[in-house]
A and B are shown apart, each in its own frame.
Chain A
């Protein structure tokens, strides 16, 4: 019996994978995209501190305020009221994107329409009459040291692959995604292609391959699950 992960489960897993930095007590500076990536902030890991960057000019973003405490001068990139934690700071947009473009953000976590086996990402434009809107996505994927993608479902509602050989939607960036977290698996994007490092119990390699539009390799860490030992 395959039990796909909930979005909350995926967010908890992502939060657990955010490293503590290369030096003692360095922490990590992380930008969470609008939507599902925002959930990652709800799962702090004891003993680790990561500082959330919001591209509208905020470091040290805290949780949503209590009802009635909203201050619309203090919002996140999704234009929702947030709070600021001790150690936080405000800055203007050019500084905020200097942090992004200048490689100071350790991890950018984004949603996606499509991710390709070569690391290409499409997450900003869909066909249709609506005006296009890009926000900060192209800057984040060009500048963050690591780009992780969260997919609430491994395949689209209509069964179309989200993880593909080549994106056919307008690109956000070339060869920029390092890792994908879905409800079924964690997949690293390497120069040799897609490498599954973790997957939900009960799922076979063949089933995951059928739901993925590009060839998969399976890391040693994953083989234990496949053989049933860790199920």
Chain B
């Protein structure tokens, strides 16, 4: 019987060979909405090094993604907006030259992840053409307009936050906390979810992420 539910976060991350030094890790969320904070904080304790983290922002305060940065686990951030209010830990690491940064336009970041999950190795977008963020990238003209080639992102692990899940891993999300979570769930070898509430069955019409994209998950309770 398929059952992707695990009882504790510690058990879930301990049994995940893809979580290793140098891994590429997708982390869902936008600002503080939909960030799998409890899952990240559990991973902090593994003491991993040189992770490449792909997430829209670079954390704020000293919780969630910022705690992973503070623990020295991250060698490179791939994100669109690392300068949010309270993004102090990232800014300190960046100023000290202790972390690499790849800035990606937000929609290009989303599509690179979606493409990774969908088996598309690269795509062309008009976003960024003629700007510093297109430097060194292949460009091509289609129907009189210029486009930049962007590569897909495939990761070792995706960490996501969901609202409800059933044992098959079918997920729903809370309001705008959906954001990057569904596309990240598609784009990693292993997808780990923290879920507010397990239910017997997510109604098929209401499933946002079909269970095929989810590896393991833990119930964390309502906030």
Given contacts A90-B175, A93-B179, contact A133 B94 (CB under 8 A): no
Q: Which of B132-184 contact A (CB under 8 A)?
A: 132-133, 173-183
Q: A-facing mask of B193-223, CB < 8 A → 1, else 0?
A: 0000000000000001000000000000000
Q: Please, how many angstroms separate the alpha-carbon atoms of A132 and B101 in the complex?
A: 9
- A229 → B minimal CB distance (Å): 43
By the criterion CB–CB under 8 Å, are A74 and B106 in contact? no
By the criterion CB–CB under 8 Å, are A96 and B110 in contact? yes
Q: Please, how many angstroms separate the alpha-carbon atoms of A58 and B101 in the complex?
A: 28
Check A130 for interface membership: any CB of B closer than 8 A.
Answer: yes
Check B127 for interface membership: any CB of A closer than 8 A.
Answer: yes
Given contacts A97-B110, A139-B108, contact A54 B176 (CB under 8 A): yes
Given contacts A56-B179, A92-B181, contact A172 B131 (CB under 8 A): yes
Check B114 for interface membership: any CB of A closer than 8 A.
Answer: yes
CB neighbours of A97 from chain B (8 A): 106-107, 110-111
Main secondary structure of the interface of A (DSSP, over half): loop
Q: Please, how many angstroms separate the alpha-carbon atoms of A132 and B102 in the complex?
A: 9
Given contacts A71-B175, A143-B126, contact A79 B84 (CB under 8 A): yes
By the criterion CB–CB under 8 Å, are A90 and B106 in contact? no
**Which stretch (B15-23, B27-35, B39-47, B62-70) binds chain A?**
B27-35
| Candidate in B90, B91, B106, B108 with the most chain A CB atoms within 10 angstroms | B106
Check A191 for interface membership: any CB of B closer than 8 A.
Answer: no
Chain B's interface size range is: 35 or more
Contact of B131 among A79, A90, A143, A173 (CB under 8 A): A173
Q: Please, how many angstroms separate the alpha-carbon atoms of A137 and B113 in the complex?
A: 19
By the criterion CB–CB under 8 Å, are B178 and A138 in contact? no
By the criterion CB–CB under 8 Å, are B130 and A74 in contact? no
Contact of B107 among A72, A91, A136, A171 (CB under 8 A): A136
Q: B-facing mask of A46-90, CB < 8 A → 1, else 0?
A: 000000001111100000000000011111000100001000001
Residue in chain B with minimal CB distance to A138: B105
Contact of B32 among A72, A84, A134 (CB under 8 A): A72
Given contacts A134-B105, A136-B106, contact A57 B125 (CB under 8 A): no
Q: Please, how many angstroms separate the alpha-carbon atoms of A71 and B222 in the complex?
A: 13
Residue in chain A with minimal CB distance to B163: A73
CB neighbours of B80 from chain A (8 A): 133-136
Check B103 for interface membership: any CB of A closer than 8 A.
Answer: yes
Residue in chain A with minimal CB distance to B130: A174
Given contacts A79-B32, A94-B113, A171-B131, contact A139 B179 (CB under 8 A): no
Given contacts A75-B31, A137-B105, A173-B129, 17 further A-B contacts (CB under 8 A): A56-B176, A57-B178, A92-B178, A92-B180, A97-B110, A125-B132, A130-B91, A131-B58, A132-B103, A133-B80, A135-B80, A135-B105, A136-B80, A138-B108, A138-B131, A173-B128, A174-B130
Q: Please name 9 pairs of A and B residues whose Cβ atoms are closer than 8 Å in the assembled complex, sorted by A.
A: A54-B176, A71-B175, A75-B32, A90-B176, A93-B56, A93-B106, A96-B107, A134-B133, A142-B129
